[in-house]
Chain A
Amino acid sequence: MTKPLLSAQGITKRFGDRVACRGVSFDLWPGEVLGIVGESGSGKTTLLNCLAGRLVPDEGAVLYETASAGTVDVHRLSEARRRLLARTEWGFVNQDAREGLRMGVSAGANIGERLMAIGARHYGDIRRTASDWMQRVELGLDRIDDRPTAYSGGMRQRLQIARNLVSNPRLVFMDEPTGGLDVSVQARLLDLLRGLVDRFHLSAVLVTHDLGVARLLTHRLMVMQGGEVIEAGLTDQVLDDPQHAYTQMLVASILPV
């Protein structure tokens, strides 16, 4: 591929007088997982939402290389096309799984929805595909007709992932996917994500405040502070040889176990 999959160009977003993120630019290539780390208020979630088309930046553009329709400017698309993109080629894993699931319908229906939204009309096939994905995210098949209200937090998160991946997206946005989960649950989820990213050649933009998660899942890292990207590079390089004072402070702040 000669063009990046996603290209952010000078993304700036303000809320009144406050600049949430300023002039962020980067290219994401297929198969890359880009981590955005920073503390609360660094602007990382704002940036993610601008990239995923959920927030309109005040300046700059987000360009996406579609599967078969060339390059598109995400914020210049019609709402219909942007919503279609979000349902097919993209995924978005929310920190709180409840925001990314239909809590009132079964797990199988949650996973099958994207298929039904693009015209799948065979119940048996939809259920079969949903079952495959339940297994891939290590949810028991006997829970396929249960609603997410009956699931634990870790199970809901895995369901959210399956619901996103069923449409074989090329790019997945993740906002603190392991936030708030128990450590052992986190480990299992991270391992699952690693495996899925590898197996399905996913590209991803992952926002996290946890450097351990970044180390495990990302190839590249951007460190944000006060709305600016203050350091960027290969993940192992940014964490092992931090150049900026803030990055050094972040790395040094990790509690030893």
Chain B
Amino acid sequence: MSPVLRVSGLAKSFVMHAQGGLELPVLQDVALDVAPGECLALVGPSGAGKSTLLRSLYGNYRPQAGSIRVRHKDEWVELVDAEPRLTLEVRRQTIGFVSQFLRVIPRVATVDVVAEPMLRRGASPEEARRHAEFLLGVLGIPERLWSLPPATFSGGEQQRVNIARSLISDYPILLLDEPTASLDVANRDGVIDLIRDRRESGAAIVGIFHDVAVRDALATRLHTVALPGVRA
């Protein structure tokens, strides 16, 4: 199958102005392709730039050079230096991101947190709520917590809410940053199943999996990330 995500020549450094303009190059000349049904696991030592790469794919970090092209609404679009509204549209419809941390918004009930992306895409409130409740059930969040804001949940519960929110829409491309980081084994397996289902339904996935077992269960390919100048 042909790729839906193509990266080439990607370069990213951080310039720390407070430290006298110290420049830290993190990514240099990165290239990769991902096709539907593939799960590309980013591997490499800590601090090598895996997270930086993932965030750059989402538009959260700004690369200095290179190209990130995605298949969006049957067209190729370039995400590097794209207009904000294009990136927002791509995030709404094409690329989903599971971060390590749930950004907690005060006062919004868990079920509404999860349903929101689906509502944004135009689904009816009833349909979105149904889906949200289903996912929360699959991920083992007890029903009594559904109407509470997640601010007081445990780390693992928040992470599962995060995953539910990111997976409620059928994104063609999924970016996963340590999705099972704060989960115990039982919950972890549930998440693995969900993600594998997505992969098998045709999602193209790029992920960082610290847990080797998770990586082995999900990855179809590995991609090594190394700091510039360091041999992979």
Contact = CB atoms under 8 A, between A and B. Distances in A.
A240 to B, nearest CB: 6
Interface string B1-41: 00000000000001111100000000000000000000000
Given A234-B84, A252-B18, A243 B105 contact: no
A240 B62 CA distance: 10
A180 interface: no
B84 A191 contact: no
B88 A248 contact: no
Given A240-B55, A249-B17, A252-B18, A198 B120 contact: yes
Contacts, number: 53
A248 B15 CA distance: 10
Given A233-B62, A243-B62, A249-B18, A191 B105 contact: yes
Given A233-B62, A249-B17, A219 B88 contact: yes
B106 interface: yes
A216 B55 contact: no
A234 B18 contact: no
A197 to B, nearest CB: 12
Contact of B60 (A219, A237, A249): A237
Interface centre among B55, B59, B84, B119 (most CB of A within 10 A): B84
Interface string A39-71: 000000000000000000000000000000000
B61 A241 contact: yes
B107 interface: yes
Given A237-B59, A249-B17, A194 B85 contact: no
Given A233-B62, A237-B62, A241-B61, A29 B17 contact: no
B108 interface: yes
Given A191-B108, A198-B120, A240-B61, A234 B87 contact: yes
B112 to A, nearest CB: 9
B15 A191 contact: no
A75 interface: no
A6 to B, nearest CB: 13
Given A29-B85, A237-B59, A240-B55, A248 B16 contact: yes
Nearest to A241: B61
A243 B13 CA distance: 10
A245 B62 contact: no
B86 to A, nearest CB: 10
Interface residues of B, number: 22
A191 B106 contact: yes
Contacts of B84: 32, 219-220, 233-234
B107 A240 contact: no
Interface in A217-257: 219-220, 233-234, 236-237, 240-241, 243-245, 248-249, 252
B85 A32 contact: yes
Contacts of A187: 106-107
A188 B61 CA distance: 30
A219 B92 CA distance: 12
Given A32-B85, A198-B120, A248 B62 contact: no
B91 to A, nearest CB: 9
Contacts of B87: 234
Contacts of A241: 14, 55, 60-62
A72 to B, nearest CB: 22
B36 to A, nearest CB: 26
Interface string B52-93: 000100011110000000000000000000001101100000
Interface of A: 29, 32, 187-188, 190-191, 194, 198, 215-216, 219-220, 233-234, 236-237, 240-241, 243-245, 248-249, 252
Interface of B: 14-18, 55, 59-62, 84-85, 87-88, 103, 105-108, 116, 119-120
Given A32-B85, A220-B84, A241-B55, 8 more contacts: A188-B107, A194-B105, A233-B84, A234-B60, A237-B62, A241-B62, A243-B62, A249-B17
